[in-house]
C-alpha cells in the first residue's frame, strides 16, 4: 500500500515537473491564431473561426475570446510574442491612446481591416407602443445634461408630446463596450449638435462638449446591461415600455420578440444600413498584429477568409453582418496582400 502510494506521489511530482517544463517550452511558438475583442464582432468571428479549420487540413482551429473592444485592445497592445493575441476585433476604430500604448509595447506594425458594417438598433418589444425617434430625441432622453441643463424628463411625452406617456427606461451597453461608443458618436453627438450653442462648444471648450454630449444619465432611466446583449432582449420582453440599444445582428436574430424603431424616419433594415441612409451604422474592424505574420501560421489566410465571408454572397450575411461598400472591400482585399501599417495620425 505504502509503496504504491509513494510511487503515485513520485509520479505525480514528476508530472508537475513536466508541466513546468512544457510551459517554459511553450514560450517560443504557437500554432493557432489567437483572437480577442468585441462582443459585437464575436458571432461573426465565431462563424469564420469554425469555417477556417475546414478550409485546409493543415489549419488549426483559432482561439477566440470575447472581451469587449476595450478589453481586447488592452490585451492586443500588451506586447508581441506568443502569449499575446494576434488579432483584435473592434466595433469602433482604435483610439489614439490605444495606438500609443501599442507603440510603447513594441506593437508597431498594426494592420487595420474593415470587415463589414453593423447598425446599432434601438428596439422595443413587439407589444410596446411604436413611435419614431430622432437622434436628438434619444439624446434628450438618455443624456445626463442635455444641452448643458440637468435632465428632468421622466416620461417620453416630456420630450415630445406625441410620444406615449410611459416612463423613459432604456437598456444599453456599458461604457467599455464598442456599442456604447457607437451610441455616443452616431446618435448622441448627432443629437446634441442640433443645438447650435452646444455645437459651438466643440471648438471652444472640448471638455465641456464631451460632458454635455457623451455622458448618459445615472438616475436609473438608462440602465447598463453589461456585455450580455441577450439580457437586454429578455428585459425588453418582460417590460414592453422599455427600449433597448444593441447591435443590428441581435435585432435580426430576435425579430420575433422585438422590433427596431425607426431613427429619423428610417427603419433599421439591411438595405438602409448598407446604403448609409440609416443614421446608426458603423464599420466593424479587425486589427492584425503585423509582427506576428509569418511567425504564427495562417494569419493572413484567416483575415482573407473573414473578408471573403463578409462579401455580399458570403455566409456572414446570414449572421447579420452588412457588407461594406465595394470601394472599401477592394481596398481591404489589397491590404491583405500589402499589410500596410496603420498610421497613428489618422486616429482620434
Q: Does 312 bind other proteins (CB under 8 A)?
A: no
Contact indicator for 280, 121 with CB cutoff of 8 Å: yes
Q: How far is CA 309 from CA 13, 40, 56, 121, 184, in A?
A: 48, 16, 16, 23, 29
Q: Does 70 bind other proteins (CB under 8 A)?
A: no
Q: How far is CA 30 from CA 23, 27, 284, in A?
A: 12, 8, 27
Q: Does 13 bind other proteins (CB under 8 A)?
A: yes
Which one of 7, 28, 38, 42 is in contact with other proteins (CB under 8 A)?
42
Piece of the chain touching other proteins by CB under 8 A; list 102-110, 185-193, 196-204, 226-234: 226-234
Q: How far is CA 171 from CA 125, 276, 310, in A?
A: 12, 25, 29
- Size of the chain in residues: 348
Q: Does 7 bind other proteins (CB under 8 A)?
A: no
Contact indicator for 293, 339 with CB cutoff of 8 Å: yes
Which one of 37, 40, 41, 49 is in contact with other proteins (CB under 8 A)?
49
Contact indicator for 115, 310 with CB cutoff of 8 Å: yes
19/165 with CB nearer other proteins: 19
Cα–Cα dist 128/242, whole Å: 8
Rg from Cα positions in the chain = 23
Q: Does 238 bind other proteins (CB under 8 A)?
A: no
68: left (phi over 0), alpha (psi -120 to 50) or beta: left
* Angle at CA of residue 48, ends 45 and 51, nearest 5°: 150
- For 69-79, b/e burial (b = at least 16 CB within 10 A) is bbbbbbbbbbe
199/257 with CB nearer other proteins: 257
Which one of 37, 41, 43, 173 is in contact with other proteins (CB under 8 A)?
43
Could you tell me the smallest distance in angstroms from the CB atom of residue 166 to other proteins? 27
Q: Does 23 bind other proteins (CB under 8 A)?
A: yes
Q: Does 50 bind other proteins (CB under 8 A)?
A: yes
Q: Does 200 bind other proteins (CB under 8 A)?
A: no
Could you tell me the smallest distance in angstroms from the CB atom of residue 92 to other proteins? 21
Piece of the chain touching other proteins by CB under 8 A; list 8-16, 172-180, 183-191, 234-242: 8-16
Q: Does 228 bind other proteins (CB under 8 A)?
A: yes
Q: Does 326 bind other proteins (CB under 8 A)?
A: no
Cα–Cα dist 179/227, whole Å: 9
By CB under 8 A, name the binding residues for other proteins.
Answer: 1-2, 5-6, 9, 12-13, 15-16, 19, 22-23, 26-27, 30, 32, 34, 42-43, 45-47, 49-51, 53-54, 56-57, 60-61, 63-66, 75, 82-83, 228-230, 249-250, 253-254, 256, 315, 319
Amino acid at each position: 500500500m505504502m509503496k504504491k502510494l509513494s510511487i503515485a506521489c513520485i509520479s505525480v511530482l514528476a508530472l508537475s515537473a513536466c508541466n513546468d517544463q512544457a510551459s517554459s517550452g511553450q514560450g517560443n511558438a504557437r500554432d493557432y491564431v489567437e483572437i480577442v475583442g468585441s462582443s459585437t464582432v464575436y458571432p461573426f468571428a465565431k462563424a469564420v473561426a469554425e469555417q477556417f479549420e475546414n478550409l485546409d487540413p493543415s489549419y488549426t482551429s483559432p482561439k477566440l475570446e470575447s472581451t469587449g473592444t476595450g478589453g481586447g485592445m488592452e490585451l492586443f497592445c500588451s506586447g508581441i510574442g506568443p502569449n499575446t493575441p494576434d488579432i483584435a476585433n473592434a466595433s469602433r476604430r482604435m483610439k489614439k491612446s490605444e495606438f500609443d500604448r501599442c507603440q510603447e509595447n513594441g506593437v508597431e506594425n498594426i494592420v487595420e481591416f474593415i470587415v463589414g458594417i453593423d447598425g446599432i438598433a434601438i428596439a422595443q418589444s413587439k407589444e410596446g407602443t411604436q413611435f419614431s425617434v430622432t437622434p436628438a430625441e434619444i439624446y434628450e432622453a438618455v443624456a445626463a445634461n442635455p444641452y448643458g441643463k440637468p435632465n428632468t424628463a421622466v416620461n417620453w411625452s416630456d420630450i415630445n408630446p406625441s410620444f406615449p406617456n410611459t416612463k423613459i427606461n432604456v437598456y444599453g451597453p456599458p461604457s467599455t463596450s464598442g456599442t456604447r461608443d457607437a451610441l455616443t458618436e452616431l446618435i448622441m453627438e448627432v443629437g446634441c449638435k442640433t443645438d447650435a450653442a452646444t455645437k459651438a462648444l466643440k471648438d471652444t471648450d472640448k471638455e465641456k462638449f464631451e460632458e454635455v454630449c457623451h455622458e448618459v444619465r445615472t438616475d436609473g432611466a438608462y440602465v447598463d446591461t453589461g456585455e450580455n446583449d441577450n439580457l437586454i432582449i429578455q428585459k425588453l420582453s418582460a417590460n414592453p415600455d422599455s427600449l433597448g440599444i444593441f447591435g443590428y445582428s441581435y435585432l435580426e436574430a430576435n425579430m420575433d420578440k422585438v422590433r427596431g424603431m425607426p431613427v429619423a424616419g428610417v427603419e433599421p433594415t439591411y438595405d438602409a444600413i448598407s446604403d448609409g441612409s440609416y443614421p446608426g451604422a458603423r464599420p466593424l474592424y479587425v486589427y492584425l498584429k503585423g509582427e506576428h505574420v509569418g511567425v504564427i501560421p495562417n494569419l493572413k489566410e484567416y483575415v482573407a477568409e473573414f473578408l471573403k465571408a463578409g462579401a455580399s454572397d458570403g455566409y456572414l450575411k446570414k449572421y447579420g453582418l452588412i457588407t461594406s461598400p465595394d470601394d472599401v472591400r477592394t481596398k481591404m482585399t489589397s491590404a491583405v496582400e500589402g499589410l500596410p501599417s496603420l498610421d497613428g495620425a489618422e486616429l482620434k
